[in-house]
A and B are shown apart, each in its own frame.
Chain A
């Protein structure tokens, strides 16, 4: 059974940088999946941040693209998220998720439990 676990600081200051890591166990990050970050601000809907595959190919949400970087570390079987120039609007629960994708479908079949990140001075 694949398991994903987010880790990183929970409280950050405005203008700072968020760095989160998602550790993958029970499966290899080098298998044919896409690895995603999704966030959920308090009381709001889920928001897709971006994704990476094992080769390092990335796609980002245009609304965040200028501030977001997703990277993969195959040796540690993990992938990471970096968000710069933080504001209070970045306060959210951040989830990592595995996406299965083929010609006819794409879906998130495994999710982490989420980690709350608060941006406040």
Chain B
């Protein structure tokens, strides 16, 4: 299985801040990497696919980058609705699909 590791596991920030979350795969996955946001009691929502493509309707303050084994999600100008848990997920051809352990973004 491809192992996905996120850092940090939790993060405190303020409205208006810029934050970066990192996701690392234990083998190359090219750009087959997606990012999701999850709020309590809700299913995950797609933010970024193919490492850097912003999903329809997602604000431009969310950006993704990376390829191979190292990826980042950057959120600029944090808004109150951004405080949630973020997950990365690989979609490489090698099954099973796996997710990172999550990064909880909290209000400072």
Contact = CB atoms under 8 A, between A and B. Distances in A.
Give the residue among A63, A104, A108 with the most B Cβ atoms within 10 A: A108
Contacts of B50: 104-105, 107
Interface residues of B, number: 25
A106 B55 contact: no
Contacts, number: 57
A112 to B, nearest CB: 6
Contacts of A97: 43
Interface residues of A, number: 21
Contact of B55 (A48, A59, A109): A109
Given A45-B102, A48-B98, A108-B34, A113 B49 contact: no
Nearest to A111: B43
B42 A113 contact: yes
B43 A61 contact: no
Given A59-B95, A62-B96, A105-B32, A46 B87 contact: yes
Contact of B44 (A48, A63, A108): A108
Contacts of B46: 107-109
Contacts of A112: 43
Interface of B: 31-32, 34, 36, 41-46, 49-50, 53, 55, 87, 89, 91, 95-102
The 4 A-B residue pairs with the shortest CB-CB distance, nearest first, are: A111-B43, A106-B91, A107-B49, A48-B97
